[in-house]
Amino acid sequence: MDGAGDPTLTRDLRRQPEDSPASEAWRALLAEDRPILADGAMGTMLFSAGLQFGDPPEVWSLTQPEVVRRIHRGYIEAGSRILLTNTFGGNRLRLGLHRLDKRVAEINQTAAIILRAEVDVHGGGALVAGDIGPSGAIMAPVGTLSHDEAVSVFAEQAAALVAGGVDLIWIETMSDLAEVRAAMEGVRLASPDIPIVTTMTFDTRGSTMMGVSPEQAVRAMVGWGADAVGGNCGNGPDELITVMQRMHAVDPEAILVAKSNAGMPELVDLRAVYKADPAMMASEASLMQAAGARIVGACCGSTPEHLAAMCEALNPA
């Protein structure tokens, strides 16, 4: 059971029909009625700037904010209209691995402020998305993370992102619908009316690592009140094109999101290397749009150059 048909869950997670600046900004972007370009990789860019393997990327918002701002700037200049904060692993469970669990609020709020400042400098035409990745633990009963604890973890992170001024919350790279549900519930506790985007990673023979199919995912996430749903990361754009086709067939009205890695990762000198160049990603972006995606971006291995080419393909002059 994915829970999508449970009316109790729908009541719990759907936001109330209230207007807010965040909701208005989201609706205004959708009203433009054209493909929407999201951003690309943050981690890839931080590694190229000197981040060491095993170090938490989120801390760079505190220690090297100008580097983080420069990365955001590159994506804005490439044409991205939705940008994610540098907070993918910014929950207390992941940060606790680096003894930073007491700095969740500081790290997330600062990251949101940094991105908001860069967006404002460029005219305020892009939306700031508070990025929330997986908790880093496995949900019960398979693992030890209870639903209530997961909700608390995600609510804490979401509250800090909202305090920093994000326009929406972007929950990504999920494999378990139980964790998606907990994350959405946590976000709703932090802000009942903020828009939510949710994406899962379908990298295991067309399903997520926990066996969730694209059809199950779109039914559940839309049923729980997500404003846009889709897939990210994975094994490259070809995989995600199929996911878009399958989701669109189930729910043609859903706002779909495709944010693929820059090709299939290959291990070179103990680091993942992605071989898709900007021209290839531009071509694949057009195919994702044709498959039903309204919001298209890129994930691991991508750069502002990839996104600029994708922007031209999706919205030619």
* Residue position matching structure tokens 């490259």: 236
Predicted local distance difference test score (pLDDT) of residue 249: 98
Predicted local distance difference test score (pLDDT) of residue 203: 94
Domain ranges, residue 269: 38-314
pLDDT digits (tens, 9 = 90+) for 225-262: 999 999 999 988 999 999 999 999 999 999 999 999 99
Query: Is residue 107, in this structure, part of any structural domain at all?
Result: yes
d(CA 292, CA 17): 26
d(CA 287, CA 152): 39
pLDDT digits (tens, 9 = 90+) for 200-216: 999 999 999 999 999 99
d(CA 22, CA 128): 9
15, 240 Cβ separation under 8 angstroms: no
Predicted local distance difference test score (pLDDT) of residue 15: 52
- CATH code of the domain in which 245 resides: 3.20.20.330
Query: Is residue 68, in this structure, part of any structural domain at all?
Result: yes
Residue 11: pLDDT above 60?
no
How sure is the predictor about 9, in pLDDT bands with cuts at 50, 70 and 90?
Answer: very low
pLDDT digits (tens, 9 = 90+) for 122-166: 999 999 999 999 999 999 999 999 999 999 999 999 999 999 999
- Phi (first) and psi of residue 16, to 5 degrees: -70, 150
75, 117 Cβ separation under 8 angstroms: no
pTM: 0.93
Query: Is residue 301, in this structure, part of any structural domain at all?
Result: yes
**Strand ranges, E, within the chain:** 36-37, 82-84, 127-132, 168-174, 196-200, 228-233, 256-260, 265-268, 271-274, 293-298
Query: Is residue 9, in this structure, part of any structural domain at all?
Result: no
Record the tokens describing residue 296, joined without a space: 């298209």
Query: Is residue 14, in this structure, part of any structural domain at all?
Result: no
Predicted local distance difference test score (pLDDT) of residue 268: 75
d(CA 317, CA 302): 23
d(CA 76, CA 240): 24
Query: Is residue 3, in this structure, part of any structural domain at all?
Result: no
* Residue position matching structure tokens 């393909």: 313
Mean pLDDT throughout 82-111? Answer: 98
DSSP lists the bridge partners of residue 297 as 259
Query: Is residue 231, in this structure, part of any structural domain at all?
Result: yes
**Domain tally, the chain:** 1
How sure is the predictor about 7, in pLDDT bands with cuts at 50, 70 and 90?
Answer: very low
Predicted local distance difference test score (pLDDT) of residue 16: 46
Query: Is residue 6, in this structure, part of any structural domain at all?
Result: no
Mean pLDDT throughout 305-316? Answer: 94
pLDDT digits (tens, 9 = 90+) for 161-194: 999 999 999 999 999 999 999 999 999 999 999 9
Residue 6: pLDDT above 50?
no
d(CA 197, CA 85): 14
pLDDT digits (tens, 9 = 90+) for 64-86: 999 999 999 999 999 999 999 99
| Sheet with 228-233, side-by-side order of all strands | 36-37, 293-298, 256-260, 228-233, 196-200, 168-174, 127-132, 82-84
How sure is the predictor about 19, in pLDDT bands with cuts at 50, 70 and 90?
Answer: low
How sure is the predictor about 17, in pLDDT bands with cuts at 50, 70 and 90?
Answer: very low
